[in-house]
């Protein structure tokens, strides 16, 4: 009887150990996603700006982002969904590999944070539409981990007139 109990206890601790190791692995994979998003987003090379201009915009009334200034850019894959004026085409569905970066600025010179949308449906951090959501400070500090799959972002970005979650067109005609 006592042996049985010991066996059960040993089994329990082994399982707990395996579970702990696995969840650590998951955290590591998740933070690698954030790191990758950060590296891809902090360079402006190869991006096209919303409405073809890098001028700063004042945040819109509908913004869920605290910083007063912003500007948004699209990597070459995402830019295929822009029209000649640099606005998102009506009904656009962004292809795999699309990266959209909104720079959030505290004042007219300093970027405080990047808000990132990266279409990568194979990622473990992807939401149901294949988007990975990043929210990372300019110094690399992760504000909202990608592993949260945009839980703090999606409901607002699903509002009427969004285009594949994009809201720039709605607030900046
Ligand atoms: C309460 C509403 C709201 C919430 C919550 C919100 N956003 Fe936004 N977001 C906006 C609006 C409005 C814009 C358009 C630009 C602006 O005014 O800031 C925008 C723009 C963006 C853009 C530029 C692309 C585009 O056209 O929409 C990205 C990328 C983005 N948000 C990412 C995020 C992420 C990541 C989160 C969650 C951590 C988030 N947003 C949470 C309202 C929101």
Report whether residue 157 contacts ligand 1, using a CB cutoff of 6 Å: yes
Question: Residue 85's domain spans which residues?
Answer: 40-171
Decide if 29 is inside a domain: no
Residue 8 placed within a domain: no
Pocket residue to mutate for ligand 1, from 105, 111, 115, most atoms within 8 A of Cβ: 115
- Which residues, at least 6 apart from 9, have a Cβ–Cβ distance to it below 8 Å? none
Using pLDDT thresholds of 50, 70 and 90, give the confidence band for residue 10: low
Q: Is the CB of 100 under 6 A from ligand 1?
A: yes
What digits encode the pLDDT tens for the residues 79-117? 999 999 999 999 999 999 999 999 999 988 899 999 999
Residue 5 resides in a domain: no
pTM of the full structure = 0.87
Mean pLDDT along residues 18-33: 62
Q: Is residue 10 part of a domain?
A: no
| Rounded (5°) CA angle 121-124-128 | 50
From 47, 63, 158, give the residue whose CB has the most ligand 1 atoms within 8 Å, as the site to mutate: 63
Task: Establish if 26 belongs to a structural domain.
Answer: no
Q: How many domains does the chain have?
A: 1
Distances (CA, A) of 126 to 18, 33, 120, 135: 25, 10, 7, 14
The CB of 156 under 6 Å from ligand 1? The reply is yes
Mean pLDDT value across residues 119-141: 97
In CATH, what number is assigned to the domain containing residue 162?
A: 3.50.70
């Amino acid at each position: 009887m006592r042996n049985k109990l010991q066996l059960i206890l040993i089994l329990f601790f082994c399982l707990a150990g395996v579970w702990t190791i696995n969840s650590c692995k998951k955290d590591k994979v998740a933070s690698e996603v954030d790191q990758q998003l950060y590296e891809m987003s902090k360079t402006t090379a190869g991006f096209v700006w919303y409405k073809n201009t890098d001028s700063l915009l004042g945040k819109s009334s509908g913004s869920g982002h605290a910083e007063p200034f912003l500007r948004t850019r699209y990597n070459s894959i995402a830019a295929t969904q822009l029209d000649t004026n640099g606005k998102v085409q009506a009904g656009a569905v962004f292809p795999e590999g699309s990266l959209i970066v909104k720079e959030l600025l505290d004042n007219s010179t300093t970027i405080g944070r990047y808000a990132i949308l990266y279409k990568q449906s194979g990622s473990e951090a992807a939401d149901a539409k294949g988007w990975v959501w990043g929210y990372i400070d300019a110094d690399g500090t992760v504000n909202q981990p990608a592993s949260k799959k945009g839980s703090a972002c999606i409901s607002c970005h699903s509002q009427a007139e969004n285009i594949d979650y994009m809201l720039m067109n709605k607030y900046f005609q």
